């Protein structure tokens, strides 16, 4: 559905052909170093890089020079390696942290032009090293906030990985006054997880009857009234945001991605039947307004390879295009297995990299990065796209009013603006329903402005 070129344009991963080049000397050139350099220089700083282990080539080069070794090299910017990039597999060691200038730093060194090994530090974060280590999963088998090293130091609300790279940028610009970095603007991307296509509409008779009877027994006659008005078409379904919100984002020129759950009938997966024509009608509304559509793989799909394959096939058929964007339902994402399943089934970018229970930067970054497979010790073709906040952190895990949520989200937005990153949030269709979450729809629209 979204080609590599389109995906890179959406996520701001393009780079100008005449971009500045830096050459990096390291005694060992390996997958880890290449992986982290690609992220730092191409994804974030938007400049080119060359790696070399040849001292003569390095000395003769006319590029801006970074010496990543223990030895001094005249007229070259110096970073001392901490050793993580020359290891193999994963160990249980956690990096020691130093707090400086209200930020967290790993792999601190002395007597260099940068006070820490930024390559090791960034690699630890974007490879999701800590998720490959032993941790205590939550009730849904997820890596959650309380297991994060950033949370341990109360730094999860800052994009520390991006802040490190901005510090490198400033240090390089000071060392090489002629080194010019491209001006980069931050970007907003809105994403909506559709767990239940409609609140009342397009449900089968038995399900509608049972829900109505439940309303009566609970004495919830307001909900019964809303249900009856919706199914008799006297009122618009409260979850039907697909035309109005898509138009809103389109008018603001904000990319909008919907991720649809396409399985029902389990305690965690409750939506309109996938065979309902309602899905195609919604897809057409979104396409008309330049929205992008991805899959929300069901709760058990991360544990059942057949389910994921089946859902992708069925969803692509209904969409009339091959789907290649996804975000896991309930954020059930196992770093050791889920990415490989997604890759095998044609997914090019996954948007699950965030926390359910709290806002925060799970990998310390607002920029997309490729999945690093420690089993093969190499970078894969799957892009992991992080988000910094989900509505449920305010409406489910905490009872936060819209103004408090807006203040929190605006602070995250300011952090992203400062590092020229991507401000990506996750809301759900139900959060736009006034009777469920009054004020949140208007709050979110104001945030996007």
The DSSP letter of residue 108 is B
Return d(Cα 364, Cα 90) in angstroms, integer: 19
List Cβ neighbours of 406 (8 Å cut-off, separation of 6 or more). 443, 446, 447
pLDDT of residue 220: 66
Residues 159 and 244 in one domain: no
Residues 266 and 158 in one domain: no
| Residues 77-99: tens digit of each pLDDT | 999 999 999 999 999 999 999 99
Please, which pLDDT band fits residue 47 given cuts at 50, 70 and 90? very high
Residues 402 and 288 in one domain: yes
What distance, in Å, lies between the first and last C-alpha atoms of the chain? Answer: 28
Return d(Cα 123, Cα 112) in angstroms, integer: 19
Q: Are 448 and 406 in contact (CB under 8 A)?
A: no
pLDDT of residue 416: 98
| Residue 422, beta-bridge partner list | 187
Residues 121 and 67 in one domain: yes
Residues 313 and 408 in one domain: yes
pLDDT of residue 5: 87
pLDDT of residue 205: 65
What is the per-residue DSSP string for 132-172? HS-----TTS---GGG-HHHHTT-TTS-HHHHHHHHHHHHH
Instruction: For residue 342, give the H/E element and its range.
Output: helix 338-344
Alpha-carbon torsion (41, 47, 51, 56), positive or negative = negative
Domain end marker among 175, 209, 224:
175
Residues 64 and 163 in one domain: yes
Read off the pLDDT of each residue in 211-216 and give the average, rounded to a whole number.
70
Of the candidates 143, 170, 150, which has an alpha carbon nearest to the alpha carbon of residue 334?
143
Residue 246 pLDDT greater than 60, yes or no: yes
Please, which pLDDT band fits residue 210 given cuts at 50, 70 and 90? low
Q: Are 408 and 448 in contact (CB under 8 A)?
A: no
| Residues 385-408: tens digit of each pLDDT | 999 999 999 999 998 999 999 999
What is the per-residue DSSP string for 221-272? HHHHHHHHHHHTTSS--TT--TTHHHHHHHHTT--EEEEE----SSSS---S
Read off the pLDDT of each residue in 345-361 and give the average, rounded to a whole number.
97
Please, which pLDDT band fits residue 234 given cuts at 50, 70 and 90? confident
Domain assignment present for 213: no
| Residue 108, beta-bridge partner list | 116
Return d(Cα 402, Cα 446) in angstroms, integer: 11
Q: Can you state the angle between helices 160-175 and 118-126, rounded to 10 degrees?
A: 150
Total-model pTM? 0.94
Q: Can you state the angle between helices 440-448 and 402-418, rounded to 10 degrees?
A: 20
pLDDT of residue 403: 97
Please, which pLDDT band fits residue 208 given cuts at 50, 70 and 90? low
Coil, strand or helix at 409:
helix
| Residues 151-191: tens digit of each pLDDT | 999 999 999 999 999 999 999 999 999 999 999 999 999 99
Q: Are 208 and 231 in contact (CB under 8 A)?
A: yes
The DSSP letter of residue 35 is H
Residue 209 pLDDT greater than 70, yes or no: no
More confident site: 351 or 201: 351
Q: Are 330 and 268 in contact (CB under 8 A)?
A: yes
Domain assignment present for 225: no
Count of CA atoms in the C-beta half-sphere (13 A) of 419:
25
Read off the pLDDT of each residue in 3-25 and give the average, rounded to a whole number.
92
pLDDT of residue 19: 94
Structure-token match 């402005």, residue found? 449
Please, which pLDDT band fits residue 211 given cuts at 50, 70 and 90? low
Return d(Cα 141, Cα 393) in angstroms, integer: 18
CATH number for position 425: 3.20.20.370
Residues 247 and 393 in one domain: yes
Residues 191 and 171 in one domain: no
Domain assignment present for 440: yes
pLDDT of residue 212: 63
Please, which pLDDT band fits residue 14 given cuts at 50, 70 and 90? confident
Residues 54 and 138 in one domain: yes
Domain assignment present for 227: no
Residues 281 and 399 in one domain: yes
Domain assignment present for 5: no
Residues 160 and 252 in one domain: no
Domain assignment present for 142: yes
Please, which pLDDT band fits residue 230 given cuts at 50, 70 and 90? confident
How many domains does one find in the chain?
2
Residues 299 and 371 in one domain: yes
| Residues 111-149: tens digit of each pLDDT | 899 999 999 999 999 999 999 999 999 999 999 999 999
Torsion, Cα 266 268 272 276, to 10 degrees, reads -60
Q: Domain span at residue 101?
A: 17-175
Go through the chain and tell me how many residues it has.
449
Return d(Cα 40, Cα 405) in angstroms, integer: 31
Domain assignment present for 49: yes
Residue 426 pLDDT greater than 80, yes or no: yes
Structure-token match 């906030």, residue found? 145
Residue 69 pLDDT greater than 70, yes or no: yes
Please, which pLDDT band fits residue 350 given cuts at 50, 70 and 90? very high
Domain assignment present for 397: yes
């Amino acid at each position: 559905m979204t080609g590599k070129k389109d995906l890179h344009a959406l996520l701001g991963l393009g780079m100008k052909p005449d971009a500045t080049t830096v050459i990096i000397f390291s005694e060992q050139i390996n997958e880890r170093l290449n992986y982290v350099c690609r992220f730092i220089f191409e994804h974030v700083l938007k400049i080119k890089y060359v790696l070399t282990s040849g001292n003569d080539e390095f000395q003769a080069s006319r590029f801006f020079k970074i010496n990543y070794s223990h030895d001094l090299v005249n007229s070259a910017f110096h970073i001392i390696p901490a050793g993580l990039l020359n290891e193999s597999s994963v160990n249980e060691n956690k990096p020691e942290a130093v707090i400086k200038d209200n930020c967290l730093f790993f792999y601190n060194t002395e007597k260099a032009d940068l006070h820490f090994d930024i390559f090791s530090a960034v690699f630890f974060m974007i490879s999701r090293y800590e998720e490959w280590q032993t941790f205590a999963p939550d009730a849904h088998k997820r890596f959650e906030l309380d297991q994060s090293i950033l949370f341990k130091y109360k730094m999860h609300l800052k994009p520390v990985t991006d802040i490190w790279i901005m510090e490198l940028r400033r240090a390089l610009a000071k060392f090489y006054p002629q080194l010019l970095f491209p001006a980069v603007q931050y970007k907003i991307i809105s994403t909506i997880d559709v767990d239940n296509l409609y609140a009342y509409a397009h449900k089968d008779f038995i399900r509608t009857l049972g829900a109505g009877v439940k309303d009566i027994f609970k004495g919830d006659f307001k909900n019964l009234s809303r249900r009856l008005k919706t199914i008799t078409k006297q009122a618009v379904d409260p979850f039907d945001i697909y035309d109005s919100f898509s138009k809103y984002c389109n008018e603001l020129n904000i990319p909008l991605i919907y991720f649809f759950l396409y399985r029902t009938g389990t305690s965690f997966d409750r939506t309109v039947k996938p065979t309902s024509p309602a899905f195609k009608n919604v897809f057409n509304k979104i396409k008309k307004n330049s929205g992008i559509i991805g899959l929300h793989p069901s709760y058990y799909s991360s544990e059942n390879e057949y389910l994921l394959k089946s859902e992708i096939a069925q969803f692509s058929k209904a969409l009339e295009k091959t789907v290649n964007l996804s975000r896991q339902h309930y954020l059930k994402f196992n770093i050791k297995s889920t990415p490989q399943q997604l890759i095998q089934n044609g997914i090019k970018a996954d948007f699950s990299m965030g926390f359910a229970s709290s806002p925060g930067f799970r990998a310390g970054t607002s920029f997309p990065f490729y999945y690093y497979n420690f089993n093969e010790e190499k970078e894969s073709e799957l892009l992991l796209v992080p988000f910094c906040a989900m509505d449920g952190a305010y409406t489910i895990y905490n009872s936060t009013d819209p103004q408090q949520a807006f203040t929190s989200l605006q602070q995250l937005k300011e952090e992203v603006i400062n590092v020229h990153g991507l401000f990506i949030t996750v809301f759900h269709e139900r959060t736009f329903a006034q009777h469920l979450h009054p004020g949140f729809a208007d709050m979110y629209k104001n945030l996007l402005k």
